C-alpha cells in the first residue's frame, strides 16, 4: 500500500465514526438528534487532535521532562516514530560526545601544542601543552583572536601570511618553539608548537663539554710540546735542566691520563648499556681501603680516620669505591697540612649514610649548587696543582643517581666541608 493510500484510511475511519454516530441517532430517534450526535463526535475528535498537538508541542519544547503517552489512532504511530528518532539522536549524540572526549584526551597527551583556529584566526580549541607554550587559556581566551593573545610580531606575521610550507622558530618566555601552520577543512587552521628548549640545552652542554675537554687537554699538551721543542732545538742542554723538564712532562702526561680516564668513567656511567652490577658489599672493608688510599695520598700531612657504625649495603663495589674515593681525595687535596679527614658510616631514619668531613678550605655557598657540574672548580689553581680534573664530583653524582642516592654538601669557607651520601632505606641489607 502506498503512503498516500495510507493517509486516507484514518480519514475514512473518522468520517465513518462521525457519520455512523449521526445515522445511528437518526435511526434510533430523529434527524436532529442524529445531527447533534454527529456534531458532538466531530467536536470530540477535533478536541482530541488538538490535545495531542498540544502534547506534541510541549514535548518538542522539553523532551526530557514531558511524556508523550501512547496516543490514539495514527497518533500512536507518530509518537512511536518520534520516540525512536529521539532515541537514535541521543545515541549518536552520546557517541559523538564520547568520541570528542577521547579525541581531547588524546590531544592532551601529545607532547606538542595544538591550537585550532577558524578562518579569521579566532581560537576554537587548544590542548594544555599549547596553553603552556603560547600562554593561552581555554577558559578565558576561547573565541578571541589568536594574534591578539600571542603578542609576538614574528608570530603575528607568520600567522597572517599563512606560510604553510615553512615552520617558524619562535623565542617566547625563555622557550624556543618550532611553530607550524597546517590548513584544515578549508575554513580552519591548526597550529602545532614543538618545544626545542631542552634539545638546545643538551646541544649547548655538549658544545661546552667538548670546549672544556679540549681546553683541559690543550694546556698539558702545550707544556709537553714546549719541552719537546726545547729538547729538539737544544740537544746539549745540561742534564739537571733536562731532568727537570722530563719530570714536568711526566707530570703533565699524568694529568692528561687522569683526564682521559675520568672522561671514560663518566661516559661509561652515563651509558645505558652498563646497568649497575649490584652485590652485597662489606662496607667496612670497602671504607677501610678508601681510608688507606686517602692516607697514602696525604703522605702523613693529615689525620685520616674511619668511624663505622652501619649496615651492609646493596650496590656496585667499583662504582661506590670510586665515588667515596673521590670525596676522600678531594678532602685531602683541599685541606691544608695538619688538618683532619673523617670518614663516617652510619644510618639515619632515611637509610644508610656515608659522610666525608674535612677541616679544609671550605666552599662559599654560591658555588655549592654547581659543584657537580663537569669542569666546575672553585679554586682552579689548587685543583690543577693537585692533579684535579674537575670531573670528580660529576662522577660522584652519576654514581649516586645510578644508586638512587643523594649528595648533601655542607661547607663553610675557611672551616671545612662535609659531603654526605644518603642511600635509600631499600639499599640496606639486613645481617642474616
Q: Can you tell me the distance from the alpha carbon of 341 to that of 322, in angstroms, rounded to the nearest whole number?
A: 17
Grid cell locating 254: 699524568
Q: What is the C-alpha to C-alpha distance for residues 235 and 20, in angstroms, rounded to an integer?
A: 143
Does 417 participate in binding ligand ADP (rule CB under 6 A)? yes
Nearest-CA neighbor of 125 among 110, 115, 135, 140?
115
Within 161-220, which residues bind ligand ADP (CB under 6 A)?
none
Site for ligand ADP contains 124 (CB under 6 A): no
Residue 421: name the closest of 367, 350, 360, 361 by CA: 350
First and final C-alpha spacing in the chain: 93
Residue 163: DSSP 8-state: -
Residue 361 binds ligand ADP, judged by CB under 6 A: yes
DSSP 8-state code for residue 273: T
Residue 359 touching ligand ADP (CB under 6 A): no
| Distance from C-alpha of 313 to C-alpha of 279, rounded to nearest angstrom | 8
Residue written as cell 597550529? Answer: 191
Least separation in angstroms between residue 273's CB and ligand ADP is 25
> Would you give the DSSP letter of residue 375?
T
* Residue closer to ligand ADP, measured from CB, 213 or 427: 213
> Is residue 340 close enough to count as binding ligand ADP by CB under 6 A?
no
Closest distance to ligand ADP from the beta carbon of 218 (Å): 17
* CB nearer ligand ADP, residue 74 or residue 406: 406
Which residue lies nearer to ligand ADP by CB, 322 or 389?
A: 389
CB of 357 to ligand ADP, least distance (A): 9
DSSP state of 292: H
Comparing C-alpha atoms, which of 186, 155, 188 is closest to residue 172?
Answer: 155
Site string for ligand ADP, 377-416 (x = CB under 6 A): xxx---x----xxxxxxx----------------------
Taking the least distance from each CB to ligand ADP, the nearer of 83 and 376 is 376
Select from 36-44, 183-191, 309-317, 329-337 the region that touches ligand ADP (CB under 6 A): 329-337
Decide: 185 and 119 in contact? Cβ < 8 Å. no
The span of 85-93, 210-218, 240-248, 375-383 binding ligand ADP (CB under 6 A) equals: 375-383
Q: Counting contacts by CB under 6 A, is residue 371 touching ligand ADP?
A: yes
419 or 423, CB closer to ligand ADP?
419
Q: Of the candidates 2, 39, 32, which has an alpha carbon nearest to the alpha carbon of residue 18? A: 39
Cell of 101: 572526549
Neighbours of 87 (CB within 10 A): 10
- In the bound state with ligand ADP, the residue whose beta carbon lies nearer, of 288 and 379, is 379
Segment lying near ligand ADP (by CB under 6 A), choices 88-96, 114-122, 326-334, 347-355: 326-334
Quick one: cell of 21? Answer: 454516530
| Burial of residue 324, with CB atoms counted within 10 A of its CB: 0-12 exposed, 13-18 middle, 19 or more buried | buried
Residue of the chain from 133, 360, 405, 421 that contacts ligand ADP (CB under 6 A):
360
In the complex, least distance from residue 155 CB atom to ligand ADP, rounded to whole angstroms: 43
Q: How far is the CB of 368 from ligand ADP (least distance, A)?
A: 9
Whole-Å CA distances, 345 to 93, 307, 334, 424: 67, 6, 22, 14
Residue from 129, 286, 297, 363 in contact with ligand ADP (CB under 6 A): 363
Length of the chain: 432
How many residues contact ligand ADP, by CB under 6 A?
Answer: 22
Instruction: Assess 342 for contact with ligand ADP (CB under 6 A).
Output: no
**Cβ nearer to ligand ADP, comparing 37 with 391:** 391
Q: For the residues of 130-148, what is the DSSP string, one character each? A: HHHHHT--HHHHTTSBHHH
Closer by beta carbon to ligand ADP, 168 or else 393? 393
Q: Pick between residue 10 and residue 336 the one whose CB is nearest to ligand ADP.
A: 336
> What is the smallest separation between the CB atom of 324 and ligand ADP, expressed in angstroms?
13
Rounded least distance, CB 325 to ligand ADP, Å: 11
Determine contact, residues 7/20, Cβ cutoff 8 Å: no
- Give the contacts of 321 (CB within 8 A, at least 6 positions apart): 286, 289, 290
> Binding residues for ligand ADP, per CB under 6 A?
326, 330-331, 334, 358, 360-361, 363, 371, 376-379, 383, 388-394, 417
Amino acid at each position: 500500500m502506498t503512503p498516500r493510500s495510507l493517509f486516507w484510511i484514518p480519514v475514512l475511519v473518522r468520517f465513518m465514526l462521525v457519520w455512523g454516530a449521526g445515522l445511528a441517532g437518526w435511526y434510533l430517534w430523529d434527524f436532529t438528534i442524529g445531527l447533534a450526535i454527529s456534531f458532538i463526535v466531530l467536536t470530540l475528535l477535533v478536541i482530541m487532535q488538538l490535545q495531542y498537538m498540544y502534547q506534541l508541542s510541549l514535548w518538542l519544547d522539553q523532551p526530557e521532562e514531558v511524556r508523550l503517552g501512547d496516543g490514539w489512532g495514527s497518533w500512536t504511530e507518530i509518537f512511536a516514530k518520534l520516540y525512536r528518532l529521539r532515541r537514535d539522536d541521543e545515541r549518536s549524540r552520546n557517541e559523538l560526545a564520547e568520541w570528542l572526549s577521547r579525541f581531547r584526551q588524546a590531544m592532551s597527551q601529545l607532547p606538542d601544542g595544538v591550537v585550532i583556529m577558524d578562518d579569521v584566526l579566532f581560537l576554537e580549541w587548544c590542548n594544555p601543552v599549547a596553553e603552556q607554550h603560547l600562554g593561552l587559556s581555554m577558559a578565558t581566551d576561547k573565541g578571541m583572536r589568536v594574534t591578539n593573545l600571542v603578542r609576538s610580531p614574528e608570530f603575528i606575521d607568520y600567522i597572517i601570511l599563512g606560510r604553510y610550507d615553512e615552520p617558524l622558530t619562535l623565542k617566547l618566555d625563555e622557550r624556543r618553539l618550532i611553530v607550524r601552520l597546517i590548513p584544515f577543512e578549508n575554513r580552519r587552521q591548526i597550529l602545532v608548537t614543538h618545544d626545542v628548549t631542552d634539545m638546545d640545552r643538551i646541544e649547548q652542554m655538549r658544545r661546552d663539554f667538548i670546549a672544556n675537554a679540549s681546553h683541559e687537554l690543550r694546556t698539558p699538551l702545550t707544556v709537553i710540546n714546549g719541552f719537546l721543542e726545547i729538547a729538539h732545538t737544544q740537544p746539549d742542554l745540561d742534564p739537571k735542566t733536562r731532568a727537570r723538564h722530563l719530570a714536568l712532562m711526566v707530570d703533565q702526561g699524568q694529568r692528561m691520563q687522569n683526564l682521559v680516564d675520568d672522561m671514560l668513567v663518566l661516559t661509561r656511567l652515563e651509558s645505558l648499556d652498563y646497568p649497575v652490577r649490584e652485590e652485597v658489599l662489606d662496607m667496612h672493608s670497602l671504607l677501610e681501603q678508601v681510608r688507606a688510599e686517602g692516607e697514602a695520598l696525604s703522605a702523613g700531612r693529615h689525620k685520616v680516620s674511619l668511624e663505622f657504625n652501619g649496615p651492609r649495603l646493596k650496590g656496585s663495589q667499583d662504582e661506590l669505591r670510586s665515588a667515596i674515593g673521590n670525596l676522600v681525595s678531594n678532602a685531602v687535596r683541599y685541606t691544608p697540612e695538619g688538618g683532619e679527614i673523617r670518614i663516617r658510616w652510619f644510618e639515619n631514619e632515611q637509610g644508610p649514610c656515608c659522610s666525608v668531613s674535612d677541616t679544609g678550605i671550605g666552599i662559599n655557598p654560591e658555588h655549592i649548587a654547581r659543584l657537580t657540574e663537569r669542569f666546575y672548580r672553585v679554586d682552579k689553581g689548587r685543583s690543577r696543582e693537585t692533579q684535579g680534573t674537575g670531573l670528580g664530583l660529576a662522577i660522584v653524582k652519576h654514581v649516586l643517581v645510578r644508586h638512587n642516592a643523594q649528595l648533601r654538601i655542607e661547607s663553610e669557607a675557611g672551616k671545612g666541608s662535609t659531603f654526605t651520601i644518603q642511600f635509600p632505606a631499600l639499599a640496606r641489607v639486613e645481617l642474616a
